[in-house]
Amino acid sequence: MSASQRDLFASVRRPSRSPLAVALAVAIALPASAAGRPQDPQPPMRPSYPTTKKVDQVDAHWGVQVPDPYRWLEQDVRESPEVRDWVRRENDVTFAYLKKLPGRERIERRLTELWNYARRSAPSRVGEHWVCSRNDGLQNHSVVYVSDTPDGEARVLFDPNTWSEDGTVALGGMSFSRDGRYCAYGIQDGGSDWRTWRVRDVATGTDLPDVLEHLKFTSPSWDARGEGFFYSKYPDPAPGAQFTSLNLENKVMYHRLGTPQSEDYVVYWRPEHPDWNYGAFATEDGRWLVIQVSVGTDDRYRIYLKDLAKPYAAPVPLVDEFENDYGYVWNDGPVFYMTTDVDAPRQRVVRIDVRRPAREHWVEVVPQREEPLLGVSFVGNLLICQYLRDVKTAVELHALDGRHVRTVEMPGVGTAGGFDGEPHDTFTFYSFSSFATPPSIYRYDLLTGTSELFWRAKVDFDAASYVTEQVFYRSKDGTRVPMFVTHKKGIELDGSHPTLLYGYGGFDISLQPGFSVSRAAWLELGGIYAVANLRGGGEYGRAWHEAGKQMEKQNVFDDFIAAAEFLIAKGYTRSDKLAIQGGSNGGLLVGACMAQRPELFAVALPAVGVMDMLRYDEFTAGRYWTDDYGSAKDSEAMFRYLLRYSPYHALRDGVSYPATLVTTADTDDRVVPGHSFKFAARLQEAQAGPAPVLIRIETRAGHGSGKPTAMQIEEIADIYAFALANLGARVGS
């Protein structure tokens, strides 16, 4: 899956202690045993909810009548005064409740202190320059710097913190010309997936007059001379429909510097296929334009090549059916090195001569292994292959003839990324972190095979006091599923610990161990943090993904439920101390599991979730997700399967559901907020127990990317305070 397509789903992510830290630190007084104690704090009272109108909307699906009484909440909040008023009234109730939670302000102060540490990205070479991003700690957005050497004196290239007073305008992508003279950059407003792209002269820091409006899911790719770039474009959205309308009619375009966007011309477009989506990039030698065509989020592509040495040559097919995954690594003229899952569900590297592209002429370079191959870069005349070994990073170096050169020794058990550079480089950089280990950057010498620490984050967090275990448990059907569990060393497994169980389980996305300052705060609060690597993800290759999609989606929910049962059986926690959390596809996961097993969890935290499985493909990018979900339009069997687990439809009157805090944002144009609006309204109606059901609706924010630091801290403080209060945990000083 290309980067732009993976971005169709995104989940929200992000040690001795100083005397000030000790003074501000929050802690939880836990029960001494699983039986609890009478003095355990009681959760706040259930609030009084606003009245939500119901309408007589009934849809016929394959002869089945399905009520949708909250359909009106699908309207864009900007276009509907009625929805806008409902949002205001719900937020009034929610924020009044959250404001009164014990310890909430202490949690926010500690989050702020933890967040206040310097962080940076690994340096990347662009032409004769080196570029990296840095954040001094509490800046709303990282600042992009450029320098002459990886660690030399740097000057500011982009500072998004100056673009808006409230921090809701962010840098939404960068693409440098091959000589490093220019940088095309995206501007993201209010968290929307739509971007405005401009061009900056790197040497002077001034912007060219070029402005490209209404771009989505694309990153410009420069031609060899830096005279312009290729990109993909949907038609401009109709007024008032930019946050809800379906994205169709994608085209590959070319923009020449100094000309208006209206003069950009179409490079490739198949009008008879309005559902096709394009990613286009020029190869490093500037000779070829590679056009990757997809119809969904699955890794199934057609590949077309345009010979850029022949201006009037039409793109020709290299692969002309949607069956397999292909990823470009490098090319030596007409000889391409590609990753593919053809005859290799866990991926391999092959060499394809585009003059003889038939499969019988392919040459296998790096064969498939037991571990899935996540990606390959070509640096220093070596193929750097990144694998996932039981959800942990493993890196192998191979020569172009496939010969194994060496294994890169990792600094520990965790996640590494980077390994970028040029074919002639003799070194590369990579980052490394784990759940309890703050980020570090290493310089790797490709000649000697040695790693040297280049930079390490200094976080006011006592990482040595915590441990991460990888455990394996059995799901309902006997499948062995891995899970990471992080907690303070030496805890007694008596079931008393507040536990946050996180999952995703979809779209071939793997949840790898990485440091998050917000999770560090949860650990300091006395909590256990668990991440279940559910089917539907990419942790074990294509078979693992396919075992959790479409008519197998229930396996994902079974895996998550089994993870909760394992944590309880092993004494980490118990049901009244267990919270579940997930975002986007993970929000669907939380919604489905709390509907199926409401008694198993005390708190549910679904974020920006896909909650109406019968209508999700009616909005924005939702049509892509049919690869993973199927569609109610496909068949009666698919409709009935979706209806059974669709969170909005699966809720039942008279059931005691967990305390629930739904989170979404008014500018989310990926999973439109109507999903969360309808789910929250229906859950408030159905709830029979005393646990609260609230929805927190952020304004001037989207699906997660581009959210300023201050907004993130406030939201996480609200979520943790809500969870701890409803888990019966005492927050003290």
Measured CA to CA, the distance from residue 145 to residue 162 in angstroms comes to 15
Q: Where are the domains of the chain?
A: 23-113+461-732
Q: Are 233 and 250 in contact (CB under 8 A)?
A: yes
Res. 28: pLDDT tops 80: no
467: burial class by Cβ within 10 Å (0-12, 13-18, 19+)? Answer: middle
Position 286 confidence tier, pLDDT thresholds 50, 70, 90? very high
Tokens 């969904």 -> residue: 296
What tens digit of pLDDT does each residue of 563-604 get?
A: 999 999 999 999 999 999 999 999 999 999 999 999 999 999
Percentage of residues of the chain with pLDDT beyond 90: 91
Q: Are 427 and 125 in contact (CB under 8 A)?
A: no
In SS3 terms, 195-244 reads as EEEEEEECCCCCEEEEEEEEECCCCCEECCCCCEEEEEECCCCCCCCCCC
Position 547 confidence tier, pLDDT thresholds 50, 70, 90? very high
Res. 36: pLDDT tops 90: no
584 carries an active-site annotation: yes
What tens digit of pLDDT does each residue of 458-470 get?
A: 999 999 999 999 9
Q: How far is the CA of 318 from the CAs of 325, 326, 338, 385, 523, in angstroms?
A: 13, 11, 12, 24, 51
pTM, rounded to two decimals:
0.92
Distance of CA 21 to the CA centre of its chain: 31
Listed residue (288, 250, 254) closest to 270, CA to CA: 250
What pLDDT score was predicted for residue 437? 84
Helix (H) or strand (E) holding 251: strand 251-256
Helix (H) or strand (E) holding 97: helix 81-99
What pLDDT score was predicted for residue 170? 97
SS3 352: strand
Measured CA to CA, the distance from residue 386 to residue 452 in angstroms comes to 19
Angle of helix 517-524 versus helix 709-726 axis, rounded to 10: 30
What pLDDT score was predicted for residue 107? 97
Position 435 confidence tier, pLDDT thresholds 50, 70, 90? confident
What tens digit of pLDDT does each residue of 69-118 get?
A: 999 999 999 999 999 999 999 999 999 999 999 999 999 999 999 999 99
Indicate the fold that domain 23-113+461-732 takes in CATH: Rossmann fold (3.40.50)
What pLDDT score was predicted for residue 40? 54
What pLDDT score was predicted for residue 42? 64
Position 30 confidence tier, pLDDT thresholds 50, 70, 90? very low
Active-site option among 133, 433, 584, 676:
584
What tens digit of pLDDT does each residue of 500-514 get?
A: 999 999 999 999 999
What pLDDT score was predicted for residue 312? 87
703 carries an active-site annotation: yes
204: burial class by Cβ within 10 Å (0-12, 13-18, 19+)? Answer: exposed
What tens digit of pLDDT does each residue of 248-274 get?
A: 999 999 999 999 999 999 999 999 999
Distance of CA 238 to the CA centre of its chain: 28
What pLDDT score was predicted for residue 41? 63
Cα angle, residue 638 at apex, residues 636 and 642 outer, rounded to 5°:
115
Res. 311: pLDDT tops 90: no
Listed residue (354, 395, 403, 351) closest to 376, CA to CA: 395
What tens digit of pLDDT does each residue of 320-359 get?
A: 999 999 999 999 999 999 999 999 999 999 999 999 999 9
Active-site option among 141, 487, 675, 703:
703
